[in-house]
Amino acid sequence: MSDKKGVIETLNEYMVQVFDKNKDGVVTLKEFMSIFPNYAVGIAILFVDLLVLVAEYRVWDFGFTVTGNPYKAIGFVLVSAVPFYLGQVFWLYPRATFIQKGISIAFIATSLYTSFQFGAADLTQKYDINSIYTFMLELTAGYIVGTLIYIVIDPTIKANRAKVVAQDNANFEAELQIIARQVLASIKKTMESQKQIAQDFGQAEAENALNMVRGKKMEKGNQQPQRVFANDANQGTNSTKNTGENERGEQKGETDRPNPNGR
């Protein structure tokens, strides 16, 4: 005989290990039912989800009656059932804030109300198509906005956003420092060149040359050579004037001198 156990034998041993409370090797109905209270909450959630899933068939049927298209009818299910299950996921999120939990409750409540409205309209056959389309558009926009708010206010998203902003600020500061270093290096090079020019040609000549290149007028202190030339010109004019006066004086003296011929 083979030592390998069959599936039934293995499952029987597993059931005995899990449900046999008194360890007598026999699982009674009382022992089997005693395990369910420990999972009461999970069973309740599963029960509600199953009821909603079954009810969504009526919602789909109503959408098909209104649109006449089975694929368009899926849109009715999307605004009715999907937010219900999504709200449960939102609620179970361990880092959910008070506002996020409020959004999850709003999703679940709105989804149940939508399913009730579509189911009632399907049973009574009393509805306004334009009102239904408007209602669906408003639900779609509301669910999208609610989901975006849920994402934006999430603590993890805020922390990641703060991290990205801090890293970007650090990178920007590093870029500014690189630019500042380049500017200072250029200024240093310019100052060294200006210093070398001043050593070779003198400070005054260097300043005059820079002013000429920049298109600026020379300062008064640097216009002394022009004043010297002007003084030389004035002295030349005065010298010429004095020479002319001396010549006129000599001519006048010769005129006043007595003529030896008595004339």
Using the predicted structure, report yes or no on whether residue 263 has a pLDDT greater than 50: no
* Alpha-carbon gap, residue 146 to 34, rounded angstroms: 41
Interval 111-132: pLDDT, tens: 888 888 887 787 777 778 888 8
Interval 57-110: pLDDT, tens: 888 888 888 888 888 888 888 888 888 888 988 988 888 889 999 999 999 899
Instruction: Quote the pLDDT of residue 101.
Output: 92
CA distances from 120 to 57, 107, 117 (A): 13, 20, 5
- Rounded to the nearest 5°, which phi and psi values hold at 257? -70, 135
Interval 192-225: pLDDT, tens: 888 888 888 888 887 888 788 777 665 554 444 4
Q: What is the mean pLDDT of residues 7-17?
A: 62
Where residue 231 falls among pLDDT bands split at 50, 70, 90? very low
Where residue 15 falls among pLDDT bands split at 50, 70, 90? low
Higher pLDDT, 14 or 88: 88
Using the predicted structure, report yes or no on whether residue 7 has a pLDDT greater than 50: yes
Q: Cβ neighbours of residue 59 under 8 Å, at least 6 residues apart?
A: 76, 77, 80, 81, 115, 118, 119, 122
Instruction: Quote the pLDDT of residue 225.
Output: 45
Angle, alpha carbons 192-193-195 (nearest 5°): 65
- For 229, left (φ over 0), alpha (ψ -120 to 50), or beta? alpha
Q: What is the DSSP letter of 21?
A: S
Q: What is the pTM of this model?
A: 0.52
Q: Cβ neighbours of residue 68 under 8 Å, at least 6 residues apart?
A: none
| Amino acid at the residue 237 | T
Where residue 169 falls among pLDDT bands split at 50, 70, 90? very high
Instruction: Quote the pLDDT of residue 176.
Output: 93
Instruction: Output the 3-class SS for 77-141.
Output: HHCCCHHHHHHHHHHHCCCCCHHHHHHHHHHHHHHHHHHHHHHHHHHHCCCCHHHHHHHHHHHHH
Using the predicted structure, report yes or no on whether residue 18 has a pLDDT greater than 50: yes
Instruction: Quote the pLDDT of residue 137.
Output: 87
